[in-house]
Structure 1
């Protein structure tokens, strides 16, 4: 099953959703700002992305700049920051079984669907 972690207010996320819709594949939409992700959810997604938690952070978000930038944080602390401040999570994320990509640029989604 394909899942897109989506923020409807984000242009890049909307572009990723459109690409999935045009693919004709069945997929699920998770509006992660409403349906909040747990630490375990994030750890699973990060593992499928094969990245470090810091690579999933939107470093230009004001919350990151004011509360976290420049601090020495463990992976666990970074994941907790994303759980507590979901706007920090890069988007869109598309997961297809055991594979995942951050859909920036949106064409990266084609690699896993």
Structure 2
């Protein structure tokens, strides 16, 4: 089943959700700020995206700038930071089987559904 890691306060995430709704396909909404992915889940998502953990971080968030920016962090450190501060996770993320995309731009989502 298709999953969208969603934050309703984010306009790009709402656009991603609308694209899924328009597709008519079944999907699951994961409100990741409330249901934070585990370390293993986040590692799996990162692997499906084919990126490094740092590429999933929202680097303009205040918590990143205050606590992590400029530090020598391992991939594990970065994943832990995202779990402890889930608003650092880029959004929306859509997973469909063994494929995943960050829905920025929204058209990325159409490539995997």
What range describes the TM-score normalised by the shorter chain of this pair? over 0.9
What is the DSSP-based 3-state SS (H/G/I as helix, E as strand, rest coil) of the residue aligned with 2:108? helix
Look up the match of 1:81: 81
Look up the match of 2:31: 31
Look up the match of 2:4: 4
Look up the match of 2:41: 41
Q: Distance in 1 between matches of 2:47 and 2:36?
A: 18
TM-score, normalised by the number of residues in structure 1: 0.99
TM-score, normalised by the number of residues in structure 2: 0.99
Matched, 1:63 2:43: no
State the Cα distance separating 1:65 from its structure 2 match: 0.4
Equivalenced residue count is 113
For structure 1, the residue ranges without an aligned partner over 5 or more in a row are none
Q: Distance in 2 between matches of 1:80 and 1:101?
A: 21
What is the DSSP-based 3-state SS (H/G/I as helix, E as strand, rest coil) of the residue aligned with 1:78? helix
Deviation string, structure 1 residues 4-28 (Cα, Å, up to 9, x no partner)? 0000000000000000000101000
State the Cα distance separating 1:35 from its structure 2 match: 0.7
Instruction: Calculate the aligned-residue CA RMSD, in Å.
Output: 0.4
For structure 2, the residue ranges without an aligned partner over 5 or more in a row are none
Look up the match of 2:53: 53
